[in-house]
C-alpha cells in the first residue's frame, strides 16, 4: 500500500459515534484533519449519499464507507474503530465495529474500483477480518491493512 494512501496515522481508535451518521461525520472530520478532503461537510454528504445506493456494511462488523467526491484532494484510506458497535444495515445484519473508509477523487474512478475490489477480496480472509476487529496496536493494524496491495 502506498504510504500516502494509508499508514498508521490513518487509524482512529475508540470513536464514540453511536449512529451511522455520526460515524460518517467522524470519518469526514478525520479525512479533513489528515488533508485528504477540502470540506469535511461535502465529504460527509457524499458518504451519506453513497450509503443510500447500497449498504457499505459487509460482514463480521466491518463496513467500507466510501465516496467519490469533488472535495477529495487525493485518494486515502482510513481505519476507524468504534468504541461501541453501530447499527449499519450490514449485509449480514450485524452491527459494525470498524470501518475501512476511502476518499476518492472524482477523476480517480479506475483506482476507486481497483481498491474496492482488492478490499473485497481481503474481506473473504477470516484472519484479515479478525485482525481488523480485534487489533488495537496501530503498527499491527497498519500491517494488516497494508496486505491490500495497491
> Got the DSSP string for 9-72?
GGEEEEE---SHHHHHHHHHHHHHHTTSBS-HHHHHHHHHHHHHHS--B-STTEE--EEEETTB
**CATH class held by domain 10-147:** alpha beta
Within its chain, how far is the Cα of 141 from the centroid?
Answer: 13
Whether 149 has a pLDDT exceeding 80, the answer reads: no
What is the share, in percent, of the chain residues with pLDDT greater than 90? Answer: 80
Who has greater pLDDT, 149 or 59?
59
In degrees, rounded to 5, the angle at the alpha carbon of residue 140 between the alpha carbons of residues 137 and 145 is 120
Whether 111 has a pLDDT exceeding 70, the answer reads: yes
Whether 150 has a pLDDT exceeding 70, the answer reads: no
Amino acid at each position: 500500500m502506498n504510504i500516502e494512501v494509508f499508514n498508521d496515522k490513518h487509524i482512529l481508535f475508540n470513536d464514540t459515534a453511536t449512529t451511522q451518521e455520526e460515524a460518517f461525520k467522524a470519518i469526514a472530520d478525520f479525512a479533513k484533519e489528515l488533508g485528504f478532503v477540502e470540506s469535511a461537510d461535502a465529504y460527509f454528504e457524499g458518504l451519506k449519499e453513497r450509503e443510500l445506493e447500497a449498504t457499505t456494511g459487509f460482514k463480521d462488523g466491518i463496513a467500507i464507507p466510501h465516496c467519490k467526491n469533488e472535495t477529495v484532494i487525493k485518494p486515502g484510506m482510513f481505519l476507524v474503530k468504534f468504541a461501541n458497535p453501530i447499527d449499519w444495515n450490514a449485509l449480514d445484519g450485524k452491527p459494525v465495529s470498524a470501518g475501512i473508509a476511502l476518499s476518492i477523487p472524482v477523476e480517480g474512478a479506475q483506482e476507486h474500483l481497483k481498491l474496492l475490489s482488492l478490499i473485497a477480496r481481503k474481506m473473504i480472509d477470516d484472519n484479515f477480518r479478525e485482525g481488523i476487529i480485534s487489533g488495537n496496536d496501530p503498527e499491527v493494524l497498519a500491517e494488516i491493512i497494508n496486505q491490500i496491495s495497491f
